[in-house]
Each structure stands twice: as C-alpha cells, then as structure tokens.
C-alpha cells in the first residue's frame, strides 16, 4: 500500500494520498486547493487518482476536490448531510472502497460537524487488521474537534454527537491503531493540537483527558466554553465548499498595479492588505491599509479583518512575496485578488501620494510616555488567559477579536498604544484603528515579551479590566 501525508503550513491542514502501485489506483483524502503535489506524487509512483474524499464540510480552507476532479476525472465523495451542489457520490456508514491492497471503510462520526466521517484504513498486503484511522476533525493529536462551528443552535446536539463518536464509534478499534487527523498545529478547528503529525488511539486514550473515560457532563462543560473566535471568512468558506469552489484557472488574474490603478481600486472599495513586517509597515504605509505580515498563518488573521467578498490589493516588499501571499489567501477563499502595488510603498511616495505611519515604541519609550501623559491609553489586545497571566499596570483589555468585532469606545483623537505578546497582533490592531480614523496610534514593538525583558512591572488582576 502507498500512504503519504501532506501538510499546509500555517493553516495546519493535513491531507492524504492512499493507493496501491500494483493496482495503479489511488485516492486523495481532504485535499487542499493547490493539487499539483498530489498529481506529482501519483505520477512518480505509478498511480491514477480515481476518487477524492472530504471527511467533512471544511470551514477553514477551500477543498481541492473540484480541482482534482477536473484534472483527473476522479469521483468526489462526501456525506449527504453536506448537501453538496456539485457532482458527487454520498458516503454512508460501512461503505468500503478498494484501491488494490488498500481499503477504506466509512465510519459516520458527527460532532465537529453534523456531516463528519472517519475512514478506517486497511493494508491487505500486510494484514486484514485496520492499520489506521483518518479521523478528519473528530480526533487530533492531543486534542479533539471543536463542536461550535456548526452554530449555536446545534451546539448541544454536536457535543453529544462528538462524545458518542469518540467513545462509541471508535471503541471497536484497538489501542495500537494509528490516528491521522485532518488538522494539526496552527489550525483553528481545535484548541491545543500537538505539532506531531500522527498518534495512536492508545496514546490518546491514555494521555488526552477528553478521551480518558470522562463523564459526559464534564465533557459537555469543557466543550461548550473557551473556544477561539471563528474568523468571519469561515462562513464564506463553508458556503463555497458546499457549492463547489471555482477552479483556479478561472480565478481573477493577479497582476502588477501602477499607482493610478491602486487608487482606482481603493475608490471602488478594494481593501489594502500590507504583508510587510511590523517595522517596515510602522515607518510608512498607504492610508487605510491593514497590516497582517507574511507568515504561514497570516491568512487566519486576514480572515478576522477582511471579508472574503472584498477585492484586495496586496502591498509587499517584492512580487515574489505578493504572489506567495496570494496563493495562501486563495486557500482560504480569497479569490478577488486584484493585484499588487508595483514598486511598493516607495513607488507610491515617489508619485507624491500621502502615507501614514504607526510609530513603534520600545518598552522604555512607552514607560516614558505613560509617565508624562496620564491620559495615554495602553490597549492590550491579547487573550483573556494572557491578560490574567500579567499585563501592564493601568492597561485596558480588549482582545483583538473583540476589537475587530465591536471597535473601542474611545475618542478618535485619543493617544493609544496597542500591546500584544510579540508585536504582531498589536500591529494588526493598530492598523485597524488607523483605518477606523484614530489619529494617534502606536504599537509596542516586541510586545509583552519586550516589556518583561526590560524588567518592567506587571499587574495580575483578580478579574480582568475590559474596555
């Protein structure tokens, strides 16, 4: 049997190519949108991809099922509860699919979504025992799938489904069964996934508290609280994946834009997304731009601040950076990418166009400002847990997800310094505030890490202080 795992860094998506070189057939499970890697691996190993499986309706990335179907003629399989609008074959409990020595058995395991399945994999070339479980977003390495993405009205049912899937549906498989999930570290589909790419049922039953014979009421309490906010583009990706995403060959061309073209796009309500680092952005940026940096998980933050229906112009240091970010953005359903600013910020300035700036304060500078100006607002945008662990005395707490959703109740002429753990989120928050019309915004470079390294004092409240 041929078995290979693929990972999308940042989003933490895992996908699988499974087949049999002797038979020459294979399938792909939970493919991402850019499918060349599967086609190349199949060709190199004498395999023809005949089938594609999505274990559930994905909310955090665009499926590659349509790309593979278009390029290989493969049949797409999803659970009927997905209500897919594209050609597909429905998956049902107990179905078995054969690719030479490889066999996949369908197990209905709702909980993360109402339409989730797991796939039991057997390598008949070695044994008739089930070798592994492809658990989708039911069971991760060190974590389990969050049940809240289907909506608040289904949460109670989903928690019960999740418990039954973990404790009843998986009960027949022995401890040595390998577990290969659809997501790993970096994904927002859980809360504390390990960086390891696989595990075993026995290890999880022994070391994952949520699988350690936990009573349902305790399980329910844990699984109905404390989840990260769902990025706004998740709903858009669910709709796109249900309808069937457009093929990349039909996507809007991503082109180099001159200054007048960027101005025209902005007048037509395109969003400026600046992917440069914090210091470069802080020094000078196009008015209204949002700074999300250029890291593998930047697209998760893009999903927090820019609607997937918006047209986007990327501002970058180079064409290569802009095109790599565009590739990442398309994975998350951002297809309305107009292009990137040629010659970057310097080219904009040389045309005599206005620039804005987001001053980057050091820990020492912020301490000086706080001593001199008593009405200066230190806005801490970290999570509740980070705030409780220690924060700058006198700071106002507004987690970045709340800030983006609700704004902040402060006059637009107030002087504000945004603070996070490292400076990354504070730049996002600072650029967001600037785009909302706040005139005097600063960002603490290095965040609380720099503040603590400078041996500045922190407060640890009994209860949080929020704006």
Q: If one looks up domain 360-453 in CATH, what number appears?
A: 3.40.250.10
Residue-wise pLDDT for 65-107, tens only, equals 999 999 999 999 999 999 999 999 999 999 999 999 999 999 9
Is 20 catalytic? The answer is: no
Of 119-128, 302-311, 350-359, where does mean pLDDT reach its minimum? 302-311
Residue-wise pLDDT for 422-448, tens only, equals 999 999 999 999 999 999 999 999 999
Q: Which two tokens stand for residue 146?
A: 């969050």
Q: What is the C-alpha separation between 239 and 237, in angstroms, rounded?
A: 5
Q: Which two tokens stand for residue 18?
A: 């499974």
Q: What is the C-alpha separation between 253 and 369, in angstroms, rounded?
A: 47
What is the mean pLDDT of the segment spanning 287-295? Answer: 93
Q: How far is CA 38 from CA 28, 47, 73, 387, in A?
A: 8, 10, 14, 43
**Would you list the domain boundaries of the chain?**
2-222, 251-350, 360-453
Q: Could you tell me the pTM of the whole model?
A: 0.90
The pLDDT-based confidence of 186 (bands split at 50, 70, 90) is: low
Q: Which fold has domain 251-350?
A: Oxidized Rhodanese; domain 1 (3.40.250)
Same fold, 251-350 and 360-453: yes
Which residues does residue 122 pair with via DSSP β-bridges, in sequence order?
A: 103, 130
CATH class of the 2-222 domain in this structure = alpha beta
* pLDDT-above-70 percentage for the chain: 95
Residue 59 scores a pLDDT above 80:
yes
Element spanning 397, H or E:
strand 396-397
Residue-wise pLDDT for 2-19, tens only, equals 999 999 987 889 999 999
Environment class of 85 (CB within 10 Å of its CB; exposed 0-12, middle 13-18, buried 19+): exposed
Average pLDDT, the chain: 92
Three-state secondary-structure class, residue 298: helix
Q: Which two tokens stand for residue 208?
A: 């994952």
Q: What is the DSSP letter of 169?
A: I
Backbone angles phi, psi at 56, to 5 degrees: -170, 175
Environment class of 428 (CB within 10 Å of its CB; exposed 0-12, middle 13-18, buried 19+): buried
Which candidate, 79, 296, 110, places its Cα nearest to that of 187?
296
* DSSP states along 156-223: HHHHHHHHHIIIIITTTS-TT-EEEESB-TT-SSSSS--S-S-EEHHHHHHH-GGGSS--HHHHHHHT
Pairing of strands 25-29, 48-53: parallel
Kindly report the number of other CB atoms within 10 A of residue 167's CB atom.
15
Residue-wise pLDDT for 392-422, tens only, equals 999 999 999 899 989 999 999 999 999 999 9
Q: Which of 13, 27, 189, 420 is catalytic?
A: 420
Q: What is the C-alpha separation between 241 and 87, in angstroms, rounded?
A: 13
pLDDT attached to residue 234: 85
Kindly report the number of other CB atoms within 10 A of residue 128's CB atom.
8
pLDDT attached to residue 467: 58
Contacts of 330 (CB under 8 A, 6+ apart): 33, 62, 248, 251, 337
Residue 321 scores a pLDDT above 80:
yes
Residue-wise pLDDT for 120-172, tens only, equals 999 999 999 999 999 999 999 989 988 877 777 888 899 999 999 999 999 99
What angle separates helix 298-305 from helix 424-435, to the nearest 10 degrees?
30
Residue 190 scores a pLDDT above 80:
no
């Amino acid at each position: 049997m041929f078995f290979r795992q693929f990972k999308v860094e940042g989003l933490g998506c895992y996908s699988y190519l499974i087949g049999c070189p002797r038979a020459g057939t294979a399938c792909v499970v939970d493919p991402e949108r850019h499918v060349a890697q599967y086609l190349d691996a199949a060709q190199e190993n004498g395999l023809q991809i005949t089938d594609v499986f999505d274990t559930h309706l994905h909310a955090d990335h665009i499926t590659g099922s349509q790309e593979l179907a278009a390029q290989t003629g493969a049949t797409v399989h999803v659970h009927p509860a997905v209500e897919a609008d594209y050609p597909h074959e429905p998956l049902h409990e107990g179905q078995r699919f054969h690719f030479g020595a490889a066999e996949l058995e369908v197990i209905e395991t709702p909980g993360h979504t109402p339409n989730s399945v797991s796939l039991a994999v057997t390598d008949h070339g070695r044994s008739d025992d089930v070798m592994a479980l492809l658990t989708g977003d039911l069971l991760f390495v060190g974590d389990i799938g969050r049940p809240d993405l289907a909506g608040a009205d289904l949460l109670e049912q989903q928690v019960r489904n999740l418990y039954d899937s973990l404790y009843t549906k998986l009960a027949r498989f022995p401890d040595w069964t390998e577990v290969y999930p659809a997501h790993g570290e970096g994904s927002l589909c859980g809360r504390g996934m390990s960086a390891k790419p696989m595990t075993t049922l026995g290890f999880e039953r022994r070391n994952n508290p949520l699988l350690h014979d936990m009573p349902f009421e305790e399980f329910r309490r844990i699984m109905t609280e404390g989840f990260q906010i769902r990025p706004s583009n998740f709903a858009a990706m669910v709709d796109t994946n249900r309808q069937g995403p457009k093929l990349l060959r039909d996507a809007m061309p991503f082109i180099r834009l001159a200054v007048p073209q960027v101005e025209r796009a902005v007048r037509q309500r395109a969003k400026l997304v600046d992917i440069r680092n914090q210091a470069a952005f802080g020094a000078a940026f196009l008015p209204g731009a949002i700074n999300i940096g250029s890291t593998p998980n930047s697209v998760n933050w893009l999903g927090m601040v820019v609607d997937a229906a918006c047209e986007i112009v990327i501002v970058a240091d180079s064409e290569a950076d802009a095109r790599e970010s565009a590739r990442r953005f398309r994975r998350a359903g951002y297809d309305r990418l107009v292009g990137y600013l040629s010659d970057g910020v310097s080219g904009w300035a040389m045309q005599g166009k206005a620039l804005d700036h987001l001053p980057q304060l050091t820990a020492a500078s912020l301490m000086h400002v706080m001593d001199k100006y008593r009405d200066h607002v230190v806005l801490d945008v970290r999570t509740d847990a980070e705030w409780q662990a220690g924060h700058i005395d006198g700071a106002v707490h507004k987690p970045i997800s709340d800030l983006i959703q609700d704004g902040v109740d402060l006059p637009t002429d107030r002087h504000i310094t945004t603070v996070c753990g490292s400076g990354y989120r504070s730049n996002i928050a600072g650029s967001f505030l600037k785009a909302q019309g706040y005139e005097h915004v600063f960002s603490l470079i290095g965040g609380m890490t720099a503040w603590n390294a400078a041996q500045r004092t922190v407060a640890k409240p009994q209860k949080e202080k929020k704006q």
